[in-house]
């Protein structure tokens, strides 16, 4: 659609384009623009902005006087801190790029109140969690959930630590691993108060198992060399041999010096319950029994609703799919679940102790203590 605005002094031609998807980039090809405006920029791929940068300032042509202050204007509701917008405007801020943060709707400096109903922002808070309010009322960066969280008992303002949780070399370091094309590892320790603390994470994307093993070992050698006791627990599906070379992800890890073990069950009820149980308990110090360090940013967002049951596109009562959505957050959350099951928290959910993992002995290997394989004749599958 094109809108023409004509006056005695100028003729403005405004082109409207839908640019929600990467395939829409072709709509910008060959355009010669003076300015551009991206509305709700957080919903637009960064590649669209990249292409648009090369299309502005081209009209009128230089031989005809050139464009007057060519620029791109963007507006948006605040996004997540993992978004390209945050990276570009808050971390990189290229020369000539500027950002204006709208004041909170509850601030004395709030804008546009004359055009809104009385108590608009006050009423807007009702029925929403704090993260939603932070974004849509206070104008802060935040994660807004769309769907039903897999772990609804997680409360970010309760379970997320404001300060980095330090690593204690004297406490066992329990590492949970999820495999696949986006392998991830969650680093947990249980302190003297009985609190499970997620102190770190390793999250990858489109990474082969051998590459992930190298990355994990490098992180251990750099950040956790002083650990006295480390155990590794992973998805039992990682014990399945590949069709090509008959190796398993656990074999690949072992080749890198990491002797990881599959947890005794992949039952979702046990895995989810092992984590949910920690979310609902208190440590001996009266504080939450489960804490997430700022270093485990992806896990925090996964628990806050990134790992979710997607809403069904139907009218009427809200309904959700039976299986959680596999996305960037699901792998690190499941890695955390595997760590807790491997550490024995899943056993506490069942009355029988049949199939319980036995805590492996440790040996020194490459400056780290890795689990020793089970005695001959005993299977760890």
Q: Do the Cβ atoms of 177 and 183 come closer than 8 Å?
A: yes
pLDDT at 322: 56
Residue 29 is classified by DSSP as T
Domains in the chain, please, with CATH?
2-76 (no CATH), 113-146 (no CATH), 156-371 (3.30.420.240)
Asked whether 178 and 235 are in contact (CB, 8 A), the reply is: yes
How, if at all, do strands 184-190 and 173-178 pair? Answer: antiparallel
Whole-number pLDDT of residue 144 = 64
Helix (H) or strand (E) holding 231: strand 230-234
Which pLDDT band, with edges at 50, 70 and 90, does 146 fall under?
A: low
Please give the residue that has the higher pLDDT: either 209 or 324: 209
For residue range 151-164, list pLDDT tens digits in order.
888 988 899 998 99
Tokens of 38: 């991206």
| C-alpha span between 217 and 202 (Å, rounded) | 11
Answering whether pTM is above 0.85, one says: no
Q: What is the pLDDT of residue 155?
A: 87
> What pLDDT, on the 0 to 100 scale, is given for residue 318?
54
* pLDDT at residue 221, rounded to an integer: 92
Cα(21)–Cα(47) distance, integer angstroms: 9
pLDDT above 80 (res 209): yes
Of 1, 86, 17, 13, give the one whose Cα is nearest residue 46.
86
pLDDT of residue 182: 87
Reduced DSSP (H G I as helix, E B as strand, rest coil) percent helix, strand, coil of the chain, to 5: 30, 20, 50
- Calpha distance 374→358 (Å, rounded): 9
* 369-375 mean pLDDT: 43
For all residues of the chain together, what is the average pLDDT? Answer: 83
The sign one gets for the Cα dihedral 316, 319, 325, 327 is positive
Instruction: Report pLDDT for 342.
Output: 92
The residue written with tokens 């507006």 in the block is: 75
* Pick from 13-22, 48-57, 61-70, 270-279: least confident: 61-70
SS3 319: coil
pLDDT in tens, 178-200: 998 889 999 999 999 999 999 99
Q: Specify the pLDDT at position 244.
A: 55
Q: Report residue 38's pLDDT band, with 50, 70 and 90 as the boundaries.
A: very high
């Amino acid at each position: 659609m094109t809108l023409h605005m004509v006056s005695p002094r100028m003729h403005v031609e405004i082109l409207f384009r839908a640019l929600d998807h990467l395939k829409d980039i072709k709509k910008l090809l060959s355009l010669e623009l003076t300015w551009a405006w991206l509305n709700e920029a957080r919903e637009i791929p960064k590649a669209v902005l990249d292409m648009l940068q090369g299309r502005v300032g081209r009209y009128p042509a230089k031989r005809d006087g050139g464009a007057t202050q060519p620029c791109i204007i963007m507006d948006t509701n605040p996004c997540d801190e993992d978004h390209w917008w945050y990276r570009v405007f808050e971390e990189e801020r290229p020369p000539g790029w500027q950002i204006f943060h709208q004041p909170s709707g509850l601030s004395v400096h709030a804008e546009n109140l004359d055009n809104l109903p009385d108590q608009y922002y006050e009423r807007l808070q009702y029925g929403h969690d704090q993260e939603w309010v932070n974004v849509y009322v206070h104008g802060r960066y935040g994660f807004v959930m769309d769907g039903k969280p897999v772990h609804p008992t997680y409360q970010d303002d309760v379970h997320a630590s404001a300060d980095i949780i330090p690593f204690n070399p004297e406490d066992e370091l329990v590492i949970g691993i999820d495999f696949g094309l986006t392998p991830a590892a969650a680093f947990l320790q249980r302190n003297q108060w009985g609190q499970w603390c997620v102190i770190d994470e390793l999250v990858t994307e489109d990474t082969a198992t051998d590459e992930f093993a190298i990355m994990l070992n490098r992180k251990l050698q750099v950040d956790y060399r002083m650990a006295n006791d480390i155990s590794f627990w992973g998805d039992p599906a990682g014990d399945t041999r590949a069709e090509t070379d008959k190796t398993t992800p656990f074999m690949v890890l072992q080749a890198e010096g990491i002797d990881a073990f599959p947890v005794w069950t992949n039952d979702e009820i046990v895995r989810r319950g092992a984590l949910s149980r920690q979310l609902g308990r208190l440590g001996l110090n009266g504080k939450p029994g489960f804490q997430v360090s700022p270093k485990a940013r992806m896990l925090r967002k996964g628990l806050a609703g990134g790992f979710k049951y997607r809403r069904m596109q139907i009218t009427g009562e809200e309904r959700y799919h039976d299986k959680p959505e596999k996305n960037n957050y699901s792998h690190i959350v499941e890695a955390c679940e595997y760590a807790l099951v491997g550490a024995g928290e899943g056993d506490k959910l069942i009355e029988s102790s049949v199939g319980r993992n036995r805590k492996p002995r440790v040996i020194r290997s490459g400056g780290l203590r890795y689990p020793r394989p089970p005695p001959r004749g005993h299977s760890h599958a």
